[in-house]
Structure 1
Amino acid sequence: MKHYKKDYGTWSSNITANDIANGSKSLTTLAIENDNIYWLEGRPTEGGRTILVANNGNETNDITPSEYNIRTRVHEYGGGSALVVGNEVFFINFSDQRIYHQKHQSNPTPITSNNGDRFADLHLDKKRRCLICVREHHSKLEVPTNSLVSVDIENGKIKVIHDHSDFVSNPRVNESGDRIAWLTWDFPNMPWNGNVLWIGVIDRDGSIINKRRIAGGQSESIFQPEWSPDGNLIFVSDKNNWWNLYKTDGEETFSICSTEAEFGLPQWVFGQSTYGLSDDGRIVASCVSSGFWRLGLVDNNCFEPFEIPFNQISDVKVKGSKVIFVGASGLDAPQIICLNINTGKYEVIEKSSLNTIHEKYISIGQSIKFSTSRDETCYGFYYPPKNDDYPKPAGELPPAIIRCHGGPTGATSAALNLSTQFWTSRGFAFLDINYRGSTGFGRKYRESLHGLWGVSDIDDMVSGAKWLVQKGFADPERLIVRGSSAGGYTTLASLTFRDVFKAGASYYGIGDLLALARDTHKFESRYMDSIIGPMPENEFLYYERSPINFTEKLNCPVIFLQGLDDEIVPPNQAESMVRALTSKGLPVSYLAFEGEGHGFRKAENVKKALLAELTFYCRVFGFTNGDIQTDLEIHNLD
C-alpha cells in the first residue's frame, strides 16, 4: 500500500539502524573438518566479540567459551586467528594475544606465554606437532619485529625459522612435511606492490634450509600459496597485470589460468582464500571482473563458472567434493554456502542477517563507468532511491551520497549491504565508487593512484557526482560525500579541495597526512611512499594534500565519527579538524566512541553513528525524517 507523496530523504523505512547494528554478524575463516563446517562469527550484540562456531549438518553450536574473543592484532588488522584440524582448535585470544589450544568439549588452554607477543596466520606442521605462524614482537623502544616461528603445541617453546625480512605471511607446509612455502616483503613495499614467494626444506630440527626464491619481486605481487596433492605449489601472481593462477614444481613455473580477471586480493588481513584444491587436485576458484565475483572450476587453462546467483564471494575452502564460501548477491546479504563440485547444487549453512527485507525496498546496484581526469575511466555501482511504499516525487531530484571505500587499496561490490539500503529506502541516491587505485581491475588500474592519492581519488569522487547530476539522478545542491579510514581522507580532501559537495561524513578519517606518517603503525608506515611519495623529499606534498592545512577552503557541514582506541588513525586526526572547522563557524558534529578502534564493532555504537549521520543530513538540508535523533549536537547550527 502506497503512502501519500513524501519528498526524497523523508521516506519511512523498515530497514532500521537497529536492524543493521543488531541483525548482522560477520562470517569469516571457514573450514571443513570431519564433515563439520566451522567459521568465525563476529557478534555486535556481544560487544563485537568473535567466536568459533560449528555446524554438523543438523545443528549449529558455539565452540568458544563466553570469556574468549578470537582476534589477533598483528598488523593491527589481524586475520588468520583460528585454525581447526581434526578435533582440535587453535586460536588467538584478543585480550592477551596468546595462542590457545582447545579440544572439543574441553576448555581452552594457553600455549604461548603472556609476554605481549602477537601471533597470526596459524598453520599446523603435523609431522613435528607444532604450529607455524607469524609472530609480531613489540617493545616500547623499538619498531615491532615480524618473523616466522614454530610453536611447540605441548610446551609452547618457540623457534624462529625466518626473521630476515620486514614482513612475512602465508606459511604452508606440504603434506609430507619436508618443504615449506611462505611470503615476504620489505619496506617500502606493501604486499600488493611487491612481495616474494619462497620454498625451503625443513631440517630435522625444524629450521629451514635450502631457501629458494620462486616468484615475486619489487613489482610483482604474490597471493595465497597452497600445496597441491601432487606436490606442486599453486599461487596467484599479477606479473601479467592480472592476479592469475600459476603453479611451480620448484624448478619451472606454469600458468594455470590466464584471464583478464583477478584471483587475488590486497593482503590487509591474514588468512584470505580465493581458491582451494580438492583431494583429486581439482581447483575451485573465485575471481572478480568489473566488480562482480564468480566461482568456478579451473581446468585446461579455462575458468568454468558455476551457475549460482552470488556476485560477491570470499573465503573459499575445499574438502573432497564440497566447497564452502561466503556468498552474497544484490538481494542476499553474506551467507555461508556449501556447494557440491560434481552437481553444482548448493545449500545455505548460515546467514549473516536474519532480517528479511522485501524486494520492494531493495535497490539493486547498477554497474557504471564514467570519464574522469587525464582521459581515464572510473567504475562504480549506482543505487537509485527505492521504496515502493512511496511514489517518486515529480519535479524533485533526490539527495545523493557518494561513498569512497577504505584502503585506498581496496574495492566495493554490488552485494547487498543494508547500510546502503538504509539510505536508498529513505529516498537517497547512492553511488559507490571504485576509484582509481581500487583492486579487481588489474595492476595498472591499482597503480594509477601511485603518487596521486589526494588527487585522482578526489577527481573520481567529483566526476562521479557530476555523472549523477548530468544523468538527472541527483540534486546538485544536496550532494554528500562519505567514507571511512582512507575513504574518510578522500571525503575530507574532496570537501576541502573541490567545490562540489554540500556535506560530508568522515568515519575515522585522516585530515593530516604528516601526522599520519608520524603516528601510524608499522604495517602502513611506508604505505604512502607509493601513493604520495617517499619522505622527507616529498614532505611538501603531504602538507599540500592535508585538509587540516587548508580549512579556509572547506565551506560546508561535516560530521566526524571516531573510535577513541584507534591505533591506525588516532583520534587527534578528527579532533584537530573539528577544532578548526568549529572555530571557522561551520556546522560540525563530533561523536567519539570509547572502546572502539578502527571500525565500530559494538551494536549500540553502530546504531548511534548511523542515526547521527542521518540526523545531521536532515538538519543541515532542512528536511525531516522520523528516525532523526533530537539530542545530536551540531556546533554552529543549534
Structure 2
Amino acid sequence: VVERLPGIDVRTEIHAYGGGAYAVDGARLLYTDAKDQRLYVIQGDAPARVVTPPGKAWHAGCVIDDRLDRAFCVREDATATGLPVDSIVSVDLRGETRPVPIVTGNDFYAQLRISPDGRTLSWLSWALPNMPWIGTDLWVAEIADDGVVGAATQVAGGPSESINQPEWSADGDLYFVSDRTGYWNLYRRHAGAIEAMWPLEAELGQAAWTLDDRGFGFASATEIVAAITVRGQTELRVFDIGTRKARPLAPGYTVAQSVRAGNGHALAIVASPSEPLTLVDIDVARGTTQVLARATDAKLDAGLIPRSEQITYPTAAGDGYAVFYPPASSTVRVATGERPPLIVHVHGGPTGQAWHRLDPEVVFFTSRGFAVVKVDHGGSTGYGRRYRERLNGQWGVVDVDDSIAAAKALVARGLVDAKRIVIRGGSAGGFTTLSALAFRTFFRAGASYYGISDLARLQIEGAESDKFESQYMRHLIGPYPDRKDLYVARSPLFAAAKITAPVIFFQGADDPVVLPNQSQLMHEAVKANKLPTAFLEFEGEKHGFRRATSKARALEAELYFYQRVLGIPTTGAPPIVIDNLP
C-alpha cells in the first residue's frame, strides 16, 4: 500500500478507532483516503478512481466480490441527526452507482468475508450496550447469481460470547475465534456443526478496538499460523489442521499482531524485549524470517536495553500481571545502597494490554535512571474472559488497587525506592492515574495524558458523539443515569481537593473525546491545593498524540517534572513552567 500510494494517508475513522482501511485483490487496490474518508480504487497503472460519494459516511473493512465487480463494506453513516447508523453495503467498484445497503438492523458490523466459491458472505455484528469483546454474533448468508444477499443465519455468538475473525478455509469451512470456554480459541463450522479445533488456556486474538485486526491466517490448506497469548506474552505457532498439533514458529518474540498468511508464508508485526515493533515475512516451512520494516531504525547500545521481565504479583482478586523494566544506562548510576525511582505505567482502554517489548518510551526513562512497570490490571486482555471481567463495575477501584499492588511487590523485592514511586497513563490510563492520586496517598507524583476526570460528562458527551463507546461505561461503572452516584463518586474531578501529590497534565487542544477543560479544571484544582503542577496543551493534537515533536516534547517535560518534584538532578531536559514549585 505504501509503495502504490506514496504520500497518501490511508486511514479510516470508522467506529472512532478505524481499521480495515484497504483491501487488495490481485492488481486491484481499494482504500480509504484520510483526507476525505472516501473509497478509491486503483487497478494496474490506471489513476485512482473514487467510488463513494462525499458526505458524513465512512466505509471500511471491505472485501472484493470479483464476480460482480463490487465490494462489500461496513458503512457508518452519520448523515442524519443522532448516532450514526451501521450497515453492510454493496459498493460499485466502477463508481457508477451509489452504495446499496444489503444488511441492516444491528448497531455494529465488522469482519466481512466471502467464501472461496463466492457464494456465501459471513460477518460479525453486535448490539449496544455490548463491546465486541463482550458479546458478538457470527452470521452467514448466501449470495445469489444476480448478487442479491439472502436471509442471514446465525452461526455462533450471543450477548455473553465474544466472536472474532471469521475466516474461510480453501475447502469452504468457516473458522472463527470464540471465548465460549473462557479463552479466545479456534473453532470451525464443518458440515453444519461447530467443533473446537485448538483448545487452549490461552488467547488467540485480542480486543477488537479496530475494525479488521487479525490473529491467524491460512499458510496453506493444511496449516494455520496464529498469534497465541499465554499470560500476557504472545508467540507465533503453526497449527496442523489434520493432526490438531502445533509447533512454535520464529520463537523469541513476545508480541505478535496483525497476522496474514498464504502461499507458505506468514506476515506479522512482532517485537521482543530487545527488538521494537517489526514487520516480518516468515517462511513457515523453514522458519526463516525476513525483516520488511521496523518502527524505528535507531540502533540502541546494548547497555541501554533494559532486562525486562514478566512479573506475577498478588491482588485482592488473585494473581495480577505486569512487565518490569529496570534502569539501563551507561551514564546514570544508582548510588550504592539506594534503589531507583519507579514509574507505574497504566495502559489505555481500559480493555487493553501492556505488551512486553522494547518500547522506546520506556527506554527514554530507564536510560535516565528510572525503573518502569507496565501494569496489566484486572480488566486487561491476554489472560482470558474472567480476568477481563474483573473490572466490570469496578473501574477506578480494581485498576488503582492493582497498580499499587504491582509497585508494592517490587518494593518487597528490593528493586525500587518505596519513597519515589510515580504513576502515569493516557486516556483510560490517565483516569486510573488521576483516581490513584485523588483517592489514594500511595504515589509521590503523577502524569496524566488526556486523562478522564469527569465520568458523567464523558458518558453524556460520548453518548452523543461516539457510538462505539457510548455504553462502554455501563459495564465498567453501571447504567447511567441510574447509577449517577457512582459516576460522581469515582470522578477524580470531584475529589481533586484530596490530591496531595504533584501532577503534570498533557492535553491535545483538539481532543474530541476528553475535552481540554477536563484537564484544565484538574490542573487548576491541583494548583489550588498549593501543589507543584504543570499543564501543557498541544495545538493540532487530538486524543492520542500523533506528531513525533509532540511526543518528544511531552516526554522531556514529564522527565523534567519528575526530576524536580522528586529532588533528582536534572539531566538536560528542557525546563518547563511548574506552578507552586518550592
Would the aligned equivalents of 2:204 and 2:228 in 1 still touch at CA under 8 Å?
yes
Match of 1:539 in 2: 484
Distance 2:163 2:429 in 1: 25
Residues 624/206 of structure 1: CA separation in 2 closer, same or farther (3 Å cut): farther
Residues 434/263 of structure 1: CA separation in 2 closer, same or farther (3 Å cut): same
Would the aligned equivalents of 1:65 and 1:107 in 2 still touch at CA under 8 Å?
no
Match of 1:433 in 2: 375
Match of 1:277 in 2: 218
Distance 1:583 1:203 in 2: 68
The number of aligned residues is 576
Q: 1:152 aligns with which of 92, 109, 128?
A: 92
Match of 1:64 in 2: 5
1:412 and 2:412 equivalent?
no
- Once the two structures are superposed, residues 38-86 of structure 1 have per-residue CA deviations (whole angstroms, 9 ceiling, x without a partner) of xxxxxxxxxxxxxx32xxxxxxxx32142x3111111111011112221
Distance 2:110 2:540 in 1: 29
Q: 2:521 aligns with which of 572, 576, 592?
A: 576
Tell me by how many angstroms 1:637 deviates: 2.0
Distance 1:513 1:222 in 2: 29
Would the aligned equivalents of 1:98 and 1:113 in 2 still touch at CA under 8 Å?
yes
Match of 1:472 in 2: 414
CA RMSD of aligned residues (A): 1.5
Q: 1:364 aligns with which of 307, 312, 316?
A: 307
- Once the two structures are superposed, residues 127-151 of structure 1 have per-residue CA deviations (whole angstroms, 9 ceiling, x without a partner) of 2211111111113621111111110
Match of 1:348 in 2: 291
Distance 2:525 2:434 in 1: 13
Match of 2:188 in 1: 247
Distance 1:102 1:590 in 2: 46
Q: 1:489 aligns with which of 422, 431, 440?
A: 431
Q: 1:611 aligns with which of 536, 556, 559?
A: 556
Would the aligned equivalents of 2:332 and 2:369 in 1 still touch at CA under 8 Å?
no
Equivalent AA in structure 1 for residue 235 of structure 2: R
SS class of match (2:150): strand
Would the aligned equivalents of 1:258 and 1:301 in 2 still touch at CA under 8 Å?
no
Match of 1:314 in 2: 257
Distance 1:378 1:136 in 2: 38
Would the aligned equivalents of 2:214 and 2:258 in 1 still touch at CA under 8 Å?
yes
Would the aligned equivalents of 2:437 and 2:499 in 1 still touch at CA under 8 Å?
yes
SS class of match (2:362): helix
Match of 2:394 in 1: 452
Counterparts of residues 210-221 of structure 1 (less than 5 Å): 210-221=151-162
Q: 2:170 aligns with which of 211, 229, 244?
A: 229
TM-score by length of 1: 0.88
Counterparts of residues 303-342 of structure 1 (less than 5 Å): 303-342=246-285
Would the aligned equivalents of 1:324 and 1:339 in 2 still touch at CA under 8 Å?
yes
Distance 1:636 1:392 in 2: 28
- Once the two structures are superposed, residues 217-272 of structure 1 have per-residue CA deviations (whole angstroms, 9 ceiling, x without a partner) of 01100010011101000100000001000000362101110011100210100121
Stretches of structure 2 lacking an aligned partner (at least 5 in a row): none
Tell me by how many angstroms 1:307 deviates: 4.2
SS class of match (2:460): helix
Would the aligned equivalents of 1:224 and 1:235 in 2 still touch at CA under 8 Å?
yes
Of 473-482 and 568-577, more deviation after overlay is shown by 568-577
- Once the two structures are superposed, residues 557-593 of structure 1 have per-residue CA deviations (whole angstroms, 9 ceiling, x without a partner) of 1111111222222223212212222233222211111
Would the aligned equivalents of 1:123 and 1:171 in 2 still touch at CA under 8 Å?
yes
Distance 1:346 1:135 in 2: 37
Tell me by how many angstroms 1:391 deviates: 4.5
1:506 and 2:448 equivalent?
yes
Q: 1:587 aligns with which of 496, 519, 532?
A: 532
Equivalent AA in structure 2 for residue 487 of structure 1: G
SS class of match (2:387): helix
Distance 2:68 2:87 in 1: 19
- Once the two structures are superposed, residues 519-575 of structure 1 have per-residue CA deviations (whole angstroms, 9 ceiling, x without a partner) of 121100100111111112211111110000111211111111111222222223212
Distance 1:195 1:461 in 2: 30
Counterparts of residues 383-394 of structure 1 (less than 5 Å): 383-394=325-336
Match of 1:78 in 2: 18
Give the structure, 1 or 2, with the largest relative contact order (CA under 8 Å, sep 6 or more): 1
Residues 140/566 of structure 1: CA separation in 2 closer, same or farther (3 Å cut): farther
Report % sequence identity.
38
1:142 and 2:68 equivalent?
no
Q: 1:634 aligns with which of 556, 559, 578?
A: 578
Of 590-599 and 504-513, more deviation after overlay is shown by 590-599
Residues 97/307 of structure 1: CA separation in 2 closer, same or farther (3 Å cut): closer
SS class of match (2:195): strand
